[in-house]
Structure 1
Amino acid sequence: MVAAHCLTIRQTGLLAGTALVLALLLPVLGDGSEPPYGLVRALIVTLGGLLCVAIARRAERQHADLTRMTRIAERAMIPSLPAELGGVRLTTHTRSATRNARIGGDLHEAIATPAGARLIIGDVKGHGLDAAHLSAAVLSAFRRTAATAPDLACLARDLDARIGPDLGPEDFVTVLLAEFVPGAVLLVNCGHPAPIRVDSRLRVLEPPRPCPPLGLSPHPYVWRVRLQPSDRLLLFTDGFTEARDRSGTQVPFEEHLHAALTAPTLAEALRDLLDLLRPDHSTRTRPDDLTLILAQPADAPQE
């Protein structure tokens, strides 16, 4: 019975068959002093094996159904961003630190508003279901208010207020909000890794002054960064800053990233960037959640 819950159908069947063979061989290998109960024993083992196979088949179907439901929930919580939104081209990559799941502590979303495309990327403290629950709360709040908030600072304050009931005493969420307007991008950074503008070189867009994450009494403010049609903006979570290349060393920004991020199209640029990275399975610490968003004004030519 334990095998039926722990093994696949094929493995359970092989185990039951082995038990049946042993049950049939025991009378032959014995010294003949015991009554000939071999057939009865074989029948019991056979019935038990069939029952175990049936249980294993049911458990496998339930696991498949649960996997499908999980994938549907993941797509509902963190849908793929459109290739173009509000005059901005977008491409995205996500990876959860939780095995066989997309949902983790990272979050992202983009919404078209009258002011322009507004985007959020964030990172919840921790991993697993608790982090996924808080990520869902932040995304829900963003979807409700992103289109109506007068500016990004008001949006950040509203997010902080709305997720308050979902925060534990030590919980917090780093977020970066971006609003794309003609010739520029407006940013609010609440404790999140600074984005990178890609032009003739890489420019890390550190905020003029620090602001705490959501949940730690942030005092958000908006600042404006020039964004030419040929410029690109890379937004990411700390899984990127902690990522390592194929040699096991941290990715050197200036040497390899610029070449990757200036590929002819956004899709190629993201692919080349991912080629530089790998999950760090060689260390004892598990890889962190990773989210990458590459954005560019839609009026930029694509080769």
Structure 2
Amino acid sequence: MATRQQIDTKEPPIPRRSVSVHQRRLLQALLVVEVGVALADAAYATVSLSALLLIGPLAAAHWLTPGRTALAAATALVLALLLPAVADGSDLPHHVVRALIVATGGLSAVVTARAHARHRAELARMTRIAEWALIPALPAELGGVGLAAYTRSAAATARIGGDLHDAVVVPTGLRLIIGDVKGHGLDAAHTSASVLAAFRRIGATAPDLAALARELDAHIAPALGPEDFVTVLLAEFVPGGVLLVNCGHPAPIRVDSRLRALHPPRACRPLGLSPDPYVWRVRLLPSDRLLLFTDGLTETRDRDGAELPFDEHLHAALTQPTLEESLHGVLDLLREHTAEAPADDLTLILAQPAPAPVSPEAAPVPDEESHHRG
């Protein structure tokens, strides 16, 4: 049985570190507010401001983790207990009651923070289930083609963004789609789902890739705005080669003795912008690999603003013994190259045709052969 080949890096994504920094700064701000309230309460003995000490833990309960909420609550309680020592004419029973109120409010804040954390964890779990239902993992082999895939959303709270990919088996082998919806967020995810639903419905029955692209465009174009579009690359793996339709998508990379970008003979507009798709053919031997990707790969920048170079290091990563090892190598290069949190979604698919018996009557496959279909 084919094993799942959807790679999921074990390292925390960069956006989570950004969230942690934001939470730490927010906690520091809340602690400063608590200290300010305590000093104001001590300075104005005629007005009790002790109830405002609960601002820190109550705010932390909604925005921070239970641990940080507990720290804010403990700080508020310590300040409440210290107030009798700095206030003139302090009334001990009054301060005891005040400390009890602050302690009770802080405890309630911690309980609330724990409940919110459980709810967020459950929501994240249900979101992951929905995401895997929308974009399931590609198997390690499908239709005589070895596959490995990786997808990452630029949003810290979701795995799915504007990128999409899927594959269906056809009598000639395998058809694969990879695409990128303009924009991010729920609107982009909704458009991605619409494209995938149409691909799964007609991907295996369309007479060719050009017809498939036109049907996809007809399905989604009515729901798109005047400036919205979807870049799409369609690939159909056939003996000795691969048929391609590129509607405004980054050119795939053929990996043999070198890296070669497979640019189409002429440009084609993305879906939603009245594309005129056509099919062209490229040689792809069983020893070759094909890297399909979204622009999250080419838009990754280092500290000097340079793109990830398509050099011998990338070639070495893409020629590891297994497809999965190769994608891990590419992700390692990206982590070493990037200087900031990812600003765009990223999808990588690495495909390699399985060896097939060669018929003596089989005609040689040209390196490039364009098939224009109206």
TM-score (norm 2): 0.74
2:345 maps to what in 1?
A: 289
Residues 158-167 or 17-26, more deviating? 17-26
| 1:1-303 pair list within 5 angstroms | 1-32=58-89, 34=91, 36-244=93-301, 249-278=306-335, 282=339, 286-299=342-355
1:193–1:43: structure 2 CA closer, same or farther, 3 Å change rule?
Answer: same
Does structure 1 retain, via aligned residues, the 8 Å contact 2:302–2:338? Answer: no
Tell me, in whole angstroms, the C-alpha distance in 1 between the residues paired with 2:317 and 2:75.
Answer: 55
State the AA in 2 paired with 1:112: V
Aligned-residue offset at 1:265: 2.3
Native 8 Å contact 1:96 1:290 kept in 2: yes
- What is the letter of the counterpart of residue 251 of structure 2? A
2:234 and 2:245 in contact (8 A); partners too: yes
Task: Name the CA distance, whole Å, in 1 between partners of 2:190 and 2:336.
Answer: 24
- CA distance in 1 between counterparts of 2:112 and 2:301 reads 43
Distance in 2 (CA, whole Å) between partners of 1:136 and 1:280 is 31
Q: For 1:43 and 1:34, how far apart are their aligned partners in 2?
A: 14
Shift in alpha-carbon separation, 1:196–1:35, aligned structure 2, 3 A = closer
- Show CA shifts across 1:256-297 (max 9, x none): 3333322232223222222322386536x8532211111111
Distance 2:72 2:295 in 1: 46
- The alignment's TM-score, normalised by the length of structure 1, stands at 0.90
Q: Check whether the contact 1:198–1:232 (CA below 8 A) recurs between aligned residues.
A: yes
- Runs (4+) off by over 4 Å: 244-248
Root-mean-square deviation (CA), in Å?
2.3
Count of aligned pairs: 299
Report the CA distance shift for 1:125/1:28 in structure 2 as closer, same or farther (over 3 A): same
How far 1:57 sits from its partner (Å)?
1.4
After the TM superposition, which of the residue ranges 216-225 and 33-42 deviates more from structure 2? 33-42
Check the 8 A contact 1:97/1:287 in 2, yes or no.
yes
Residue 335 of structure 2 aligns to a residue in which SS?
A: coil
Determine which structure has more spread, i.e. the larger CA radius of gyration. 2
> 1:244, 1:41 → 2: CA distance?
54
Distance in 1 between residues matched to 2:200 and 2:103, nearest whole Å: 57
Q: CA deviation at 1:197?
A: 1.4
How far is the alpha carbon of 1:203 from its aligned partner?
A: 2.3
- The unaligned stretches of length 5 or more in structure 1 are none
1:212–1:33 distance in 2 versus 1, CA, 3 Å? closer
Deviations 1:7-37 (A, max 9, x none): 2222222322332233233234332265741
2:365 match: none
1:4 partner amino acid: A
- Conservation of the 8 A alpha-carbon contact between 1:248 and 1:280: no
For 1:237 and 1:65, locate their aligned partners in 2 and report how far apart those are by CA, in whole Å: 30
Q: Relative to 1, partners in 2 of residues 1:242 and 1:24: Cα closer, same or farther, differing over 3 Å?
A: closer
